[in-house]
Amino acid sequence: MSHIMTWCKNNLMHINFKKSHYLDIKTKSSLTVSPLTELTAVTETRILGIIFNENMKWNAHIEAVVKRASKLLFAVYRLKQMSLPARVLWNVYYSLVRSVITFAFPAFCNLSQYLFNRLLRLEGRVARIIGSKPPTSIETFCNSLCSKLACKIQREPQHPLCKLTVPRKDSGYALRKSRSHLCRPRAMTARYQNSFIRYI
C-alpha cells in the first residue's frame, strides 16, 4: 500500500478514501491479511460490470445477471403475443437478454456447472415462450467467446498470458484434438484449469 501511495503522489493522483475500498482475494479461509487502515474492507465488489468476491466464486454475479435478464424476458413475451416470427424473437433475445448473460463471459467461465445450469434454465424459459430451440445455444456461444480470446492471446506474443504457454513438441503426426501449436499451461487449481485457458 505504501508503494501505491508513493506512486500516486509522484504522479499527482489523489485517492479518495471515502469512495475507495479493498478486497482480499483468497481461497483458503485460514489466510490472514493485515488490514489497510486507510481503506474499508469489503467481501465483494463490482468491477466493470462483474461482481467479484473474496473466494472468487460467481454466485453473486450469476444471481444479479439472472435477475436482470429475467426482467428483460417480458419484452420477448409481449412480442410473442404480437405473433412475430420465431426468427425475430430470437434476434430480440440475442440483443436484449443474451448480451446481458454473456457479457465478459471469459472472465468468469470457470463457474460451477450448477451456476451455468441457471443460465441454461433461463434460456429454456425463452425457448418455451418462443416455441422453438435457439439457432445457437448459449453453451456453443460461450465456448466460441472463450476460444476467440484464447486464439487472440496466442497471436499476441506481448500478452502476459501468452508467456504461460509453451510450444508443442513435434511428435511427427498430427493430433486430432490439438487446436494449436501451443501446450496448455499446467493448472494447479480447478479454477484455473476450468478457465478459458482450457480452450488453448
92 in the same domain as 138: yes
68 in the same domain as 9: no
What is the DSSP pairing of strand 40-42 with strand 21-23? parallel
Q: Is residue 169 part of a domain?
A: no
Its pTM stands at 0.74
27 in the same domain as 91: no
Q: Is residue 191 part of a domain?
A: no
Q: What are the b/e assignments for 21-53, b being 16+ CB within 10 Å?
A: eeeeeeeeeeeeeeeeeeeeeeeeeeeeebbbb
What is the DSSP pairing of strand 182-183 with strand 44-47? unpaired
18 in the same domain as 68: no
- 51, containing H or E segment: strand 50-53
With beta carbons less than 8 A apart as the criterion, state whether 192 and 110 touch. yes
CA distance 180 to 71: 41
Domain boundary at 95, 126, 143, which? 143
Beta bridge partners of 55: none
The domain tally of the chain equals: 2
Domain boundary at 125, 143, 161, which? 143
CA distance 95 to 182: 35
104 in the same domain as 67: yes
Q: Is residue 111 part of a domain?
A: yes
CA distance 124 to 128: 6
| Domain ranges, residue 116 | 59-143
Q: Is residue 78 part of a domain?
A: yes
One digit per residue, pLDDT tens: the chain, 200 residues?
778 778 888 998 887 878 888 887 776 665 555 655 677 778 888 888 899 888 888 899 999 999 999 999 989 899 998 988 999 999 999 999 999 999 988 888 888 888 889 999 999 999 999 988 888 888 889 888 888 888 888 788 888 777 776 665 554 444 444 455 556 667 777 777 777 777 66
- 89, containing H or E segment: helix 86-93
129 in the same domain as 69: yes
Q: Is residue 54 part of a domain?
A: no
CA distance 16 to 176: 54
Q: Is residue 93 part of a domain?
A: yes
C-alpha cell recorded at residue 165: 504457454
Q: Is residue 129 part of a domain?
A: yes
